[in-house]
Amino acid sequence: MSDRFPPGFLWGAATSAYQIEGAVAEGGRTPSIWDTFSHTPGRTDGGDTGDVAVDHYHRMREDVALMADMGLTAYRFSVSWSRVQPTGRGPAVQLGLDFYRRLVDELLDHGIQPALTLYHWDLPQELEDAGGWPARDTAHRFAEYAALVGSALGDRVEHWITLNEPWCSAFLGYASGVHAPGRTDPAASLRAAHHLNLAHGEATSALRAALPARDQIAVSLNSAVVRPLSPDPADLAAVRRIDDLANGIFHGPMLHGAYPANLFADTASVTDWSFVQDGDLRAIQQPLDALGLNYYTTSLVSAADPDTADARADGHGASAHSPWPGATSVAFHQPPGERTAMGWTIDPSGLYDLLLRYTKEAPGLPLLITENGAACEDGPAPDGSVHDPDRIGYLHDHLATVRRAMEAGADVRGYYLWSLMDNFEWSFGYGKRFGAVYVDYATLERTPKSSARWYAELARTGELPRRPGA
């Protein structure tokens, strides 16, 4: 197998607005659900918030220079809806758009392609107060917001992503409550999932009307790789049920115009799905130019043992409320193997399976790995340098798997490392570091880690550098 990637392959890194920008009350920005959630006692580790984050809003040019030094050819960022359209309604705030105009211009001046994500979990609080994603109107508001951003930046941004990980928005936000807005209502989480699907479809149509024909539209899904604990038929049935809730609930409508055949019956005790209206599935199934996939680890499930009450080992945070509505018959187990600092098992074979699955699920649709990376326990040495061989090993093995999947027929066009730099890691606060660039949170000084230099060599040559210790 060749370790060389094809010419034109995108070498990127990714971030999201609330995790890095800070400046939460500047330029007309109003609170998002993550501002409210992080300021609620007990919601985040250490009471951490994104008020300052890593101050990217004020240090943007410095951060783009770091990207250029890493040899990035693409950068995936998200727009803060609250910065651009503070109430979720009405005209755009030009000061908010101007920040993203400056960012895009700076990227282009350094030869870096911007990849813009419209929604990375930071719903304007006023829209949550009006019902949030469980309310149908939020989907329509999102389409209007998409049109505003598309009209402002479509002349310079060619790569667009509607939603990032709608599964997390729906089920961690409205079922288990470990993400903003912190609600624990299984029926509301299923309504949210449908309205996120509808938002994607309506926003895609709005972008098509606003963007030049050359621009490309995608969505980023954190599709799960679900494996059975045993070949027992009951465990295989558990896999099917979770696969529908993790994957089919989004890719079914988006790619095929239909929800999975068993989903409605599986969740009948939770909702009757009467919120799905005539024409919704046609509105959701819009042609895409690429499919983004975010991958970190695998899931291991079995039929639940009614005589045990083990903690749910699904990797999605501690909560007495499950993010899996209608799946009380399923037990989650910790997959064996080495783990990252998040406690997630390291398993590159899952990425191979995911890429080959979507090669069959959506034939002819190019694929992008829009997130992949590892949280590691790294910090500065006495000389100030930051070495992270564990992260380099993780990246090497996953990228080797990407190359193997490409040789097996997967049309992968690019890879976005998560993340460009250490940042606010949602409910984990600042305790987990995913970055290729180390951030001293006291001084906000940036220091490229050894993984940044390793990745720069890969971006420069297109050839996978050796694994540490190999």
Catalytic residues: 165, 371
| Structure token digits, residue 20 | 């890095």
Question: Is 129 in contact with 138 (CB distance < 8 Å)?
Answer: no
User: What are the φ and ψ backbone dihedral angles of 47, each rounded to 5 degrees?
Assistant: 70, 20
Who's near 257: CB < 8 A, 6+ residues apart? Answer: 281, 282, 284, 285
| Structure token digits, residue 67 | 């990207």
User: What are the φ and ψ backbone dihedral angles of 132, each rounded to 5 degrees?
Assistant: 65, -160
Using alpha carbons, select from 261, 264, 288, 286 the residue that is nearest to residue 275.
264
Q: Which bin fits 8, alpha (ψ -120 to 50), beta or left (φ > 0)?
A: left
Question: Is 180 in contact with 216 (CB distance < 8 Å)?
Answer: no
Who's near 454: CB < 8 A, 6+ residues apart? Answer: 392, 395, 465
Question: Is 302 in contact with 228 (CB distance < 8 Å)?
Answer: yes
**Number of helices (H) and strands (E), helices first, in the chain?**
17, 13
What count of other Cβ atoms lies within 10 Å of the Cβ of residue 407? 10
**Burial 433-465, CB ≥16 within 10 A → b, else e:** bbbbbbbeeeebebbbbbbbebbbebbeeeebb
* Interatomic CA distance for residues 398 and 188, integer angstroms: 36
Axis-axis angle for helices 137-153, 186-210 (nearest 10): 30
Question: Is 58 in contact with 99 (CB distance < 8 Å)?
Answer: no
Question: Is 50 in contact with 424 (CB distance < 8 Å)?
Answer: yes
Q: How far apart are the first and last CA of the chain?
A: 17
Who's near 383: CB < 8 A, 6+ residues apart? Answer: none
| Structure token digits, residue 12 | 């990127």
* Interatomic CA distance for residues 408 and 352, integer angstroms: 9
Query: For tokens 């310079």, what's the residue?
Result: 156
| Structure token digits, residue 71 | 């040899």
CB hemisphere CA count around 163 (13 angstroms): 28
Please state the length of the chain: 470
* Interatomic CA distance for residues 140 and 137, integer angstroms: 5
